[in-house]
């Protein structure tokens, strides 16, 4: 499975129940993938093989979907997802400085998860908030007109809560 992923019988039971429920509906792949991501925190090849067998969809099709959409991951993600927009408007207004500062603070690179499993760092493209550039997100919260100090302050606030 994924690095550090422990799969319990309860997780597998829940996953198989979701597959069986989704089989009854048209277009079962996407809801099944969303459920797998929710249950396991990632969708590694082993889980993709189960989906392939149960839904009779090729592994290459499933893997193509998993690797195309940013909501899915083949590796576990942290409890908090930090995304720094590197779209044109954000980039020219300093988002690379934010990304570098967050990377240094968390001691991880883009696409990596902190050792404690709390944070995953992502470089994103346009978040649709160009007027607020530069922008970063933590989970579903958007921080506009940001800078590296604001980003570090938000991370430290989360760390203090844990």
**Structure confidence by residue, pLDDT tens digits, 135-158:** 999 998 999 999 999 999 999 999
Instruction: Please state, in angstroms and rounded to a whole number, the distance separating the CA atoms of residues 40 and 53.
Output: 18
The model's pLDDT over 56-111, given as tens digits with 9 standing for 90+, comes to: 999 999 999 999 987 788 988 888 999 999 999 999 999 999 999 999 999 999 98
Tokens of 92: 């020219």
Token pair recorded at residue 39 = 């249950």
Name the pTM for this structure: 0.69
Report residue 25 as tokens: 């509906």
Task: Give the C-alpha separation, 125 to 102, whole Å.
Answer: 17
Q: What whole-number distance in Å separates Cα of residue 53 and Cα of residue 124?
A: 33
- In 114-158, the DSSP E strands lie at 119-124, 136-138, 141-143
**Domain 80-161 is in which class?**
alpha beta
């Amino acid at each position: 499975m994924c690095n550090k992923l422990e799969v319990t019988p309860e997780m597998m039971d829940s996953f198989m129940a979701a597959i069986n429920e989704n089989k009854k509906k048209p277009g079962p792949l996407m809801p099944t993938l969303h459920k797998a991501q929710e249950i396991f925190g990632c969708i590694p090849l082993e889980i993709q093989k189960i989906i392939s067998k149960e839904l009779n969809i090729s592994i290459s099709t499933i893997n193509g979907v998993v690797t195309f959409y940013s909501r899915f991951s083949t590796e576990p993600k942290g409890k908090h997802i930090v995304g720094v927009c590197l779209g044109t408007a954000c980039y020219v207004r300093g988002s690379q400085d934010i990304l570098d500062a967050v990377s240094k603070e968390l001691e991880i690179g883009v696409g990596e998860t902190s050792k404690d499993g709390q944070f995953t760092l992502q470089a994103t493209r346009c978040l649709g908030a160009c007027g607020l550039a530069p922008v970063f997100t933590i989970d579903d919260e958007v921080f506009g007109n940001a800078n590296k100090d604001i980003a570090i302050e938000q991370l430290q606030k989360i760390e203090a809560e844990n």
